[in-house]
Structure 1
Amino acid sequence: MKSIKDKIIWITGASSGIGEELSYQLNEQGCKLIISARREKELNRVKNNCTAPKNVSVLPLDLGNFEQLENMPEKAVSFYGKIDILINNGGISQRSLITDTKFEVYQQMMNINYLGTIKLTMQTLPYFTRQKSGHFVTVTSLMGKFSSPYRSGYCGAKHALHGFFDSLRMEHEKDGIDVTLICPGFIQTNIAKNALTGDGSLQKKEDDATKNGITAHQCAKEIIRAVEKKKFEAYIGGKEKYGVYLKRFFPNLLHKTVLKSSVR
């Protein structure tokens, strides 16, 4: 296992939650960071809260703005001359039944959670290929391995990420490029409050499963450990992470277990 110390790491979705906590822990470990999200003010707050803010560069971006993403890797590389790791962490969630969800909400979920991440990855890939090294770390979800009610759009986008990045790993292993898929379960962040409802408005309220999940601090620690080990996939959370194995070996039991749960 190689230490992540001194790596140059680009993190999307760094203004809150898992991305914010990753920024703090990686900065403490001596990494140089490029932190991205839509809200520049929040990015500057995260930078100023880091142990060594001089090693943090702010690069605002919107994953839903595909045209803007085209020159983002060039800007990211300009800060320190290279990128060792891109952590694709930006995204949004959803809480609504399929029959109550507008098609436009599904479009937004795919544009931000899937297509925006793919666009940024494709623009970064030539840099990694030329330097014969690089590591794509993509934060998907346990919902990218199995599904639950009220999250159809979110699950669909997260499942799609697995399909794309598994292919990328196979195609570019020869170029020294690694791919790690991070699958968190319930983490104490604002993901539920910021989830889209069926009409596209924010849910604006917490749910018990998220509130009782593991801390973002613990999640970030486990992500860093998985990156250092260059794992293909890492499942992070409480007992919900065992749903991955139920899905594989006992899919009918998983179906019944999820339906009986109070998760919404």
Structure 2
Amino acid sequence: MSFTDKVIWITGASSGIGKHLAIECSNLNAKLILSSRNIEALKAVKTLCKNPLNVKLITLDLEDYTTFKTKVTEAISCFGSIDILVNNGGISQRSLAQETSIDVDKRIMDVNYLGSVALTKTLLPLFIEQQSGHFVVTTSIVGKIGTPLRSSYAASKHALHGFFDSLRAEIHTNNIAVTLVCPGFVNTNISLNALTGNGKAQNKMDNATKNGLAPERFAQLMAKAIYKKKQEVYIAGFKEKLGIYTKRFFPKLLSKMIRKLSVT
């Protein structure tokens, strides 16, 4: 497996899944464009890559759609083209729906859903022109199953599935692939940075997240799914995967199981 001569643009690349995917793709000889709001963290990721000379950095705020046309032009100029866009940037949530400000709902949708959709739409003309391309989206198991304390987060991830499933059907004749990657619990800082009902960070590591899949291993499995152009892949523990199939075949049973999950 190799990404030799492939240009991969990864958002949310300064930490967590994005950081480790960047390192893994660099090990597989990809040319990388890494984006997030934190340029210093991106510089640190670049030094961990196999060939830093083949890594370019572009600051990007997923809430600021007005910059995307300029950012896409800048990204294309890095290596002359783009083969794969990994829509990985996002934020999580830990709060009851009734205690979550609508401003928090809006921010989560702006970053997780509209940011990825807007960037995809801005890059899409290039993929259509070159009659090739690959959109990869980091969603979540919660994009298939809504669970307590994650109502807005689950909604944003469900929305990504709806949009990108539709887009896949529209652009298949243009030789453009769409891969939806659904992580379960991964040992990253996602729960530390998750928004509470008033919009402040939780600043606490969830036990399930702490005991989740190692991000290095997750990145290996995600890179494999990208290479194979899988339509949808679940990279998660047994219980999380079981939940998806239980919902598909025994939805009432899953509802009862979900109600027993802690909401504190």
TM-score (structure 1 length as normaliser): 0.97
The corresponding residue for 2:208 is 209
Structure 1 runs not aligned, ≥5 long: none
Overall identity of the aligned pairs, in %: 51
Task: Report the CA distance between 1:192 and its aligned residue.
Answer: 0.3
Task: Report the CA distance between 1:73 and its aligned residue.
Answer: 1.2
Distance 2:261 2:184 in 1: 14
The corresponding residue for 1:67 is 66
Distance 1:137 1:262 in 2: 32
Task: Report the CA distance between 1:5 and its aligned residue.
Answer: 3.1
Change (3 A) 1:33 1:263: farther
The corresponding residue for 1:14 is 13
The corresponding residue for 1:110 is 109
Q: Which runs of 4 or more aligned residues in structure 1 lie more than 6 Å from their structure 2 counterparts after TM superposition?
A: none
Alignment of 1:213-232 (within 5 A): 213-232=212-231
The corresponding residue for 1:98 is 97
Amino acid at match of 1:258: I
Asked if residue 249 in structure 1 is aligned to residue 224 in structure 2, the reply is no
Distance 1:261 1:93 in 2: 18
Secondary structure of the residue aligned to 1:14 is coil
- When structure 1 is superposed on structure 2, of 2-11 and 200-209 the one drifting more is 2-11
Structure 2 runs not aligned, ≥5 long: none
Task: Report the CA distance between 1:258 and its aligned residue.
Answer: 2.2
Task: Report the CA distance between 1:6 and its aligned residue.
Answer: 2.7
- When structure 1 is superposed on structure 2, of 232-241 and 171-180 the one drifting more is 232-241
Compute the RMSD of aligned alpha carbons: 1.1
Distance 2:148 2:6 in 1: 39
The corresponding residue for 2:75 is 76
Alignment of 1:123-142 (within 5 A): 123-142=122-141
Q: Does the CA-based 8 Å contact 2:149-2:263 persist in structure 1?
A: no
The corresponding residue for 1:51 is 50
Q: C-alpha deviations, 1:20-77, integer Å up to 9, x for none?
A: 0011111111100000000000001100121211110000100011111222111100
Distance 1:245 1:263 in 2: 23
Amino acid at match of 1:112: V
Alignment of 1:126-205 (within 5 A): 126-205=125-204
The corresponding residue for 2:232 is 233
Q: C-alpha deviations, 1:89-133, integer Å up to 9, x for none?
A: 000000000111000000000100000111000000000000000
Q: Does the CA-based 8 Å contact 1:192-1:206 persist in structure 2?
A: yes
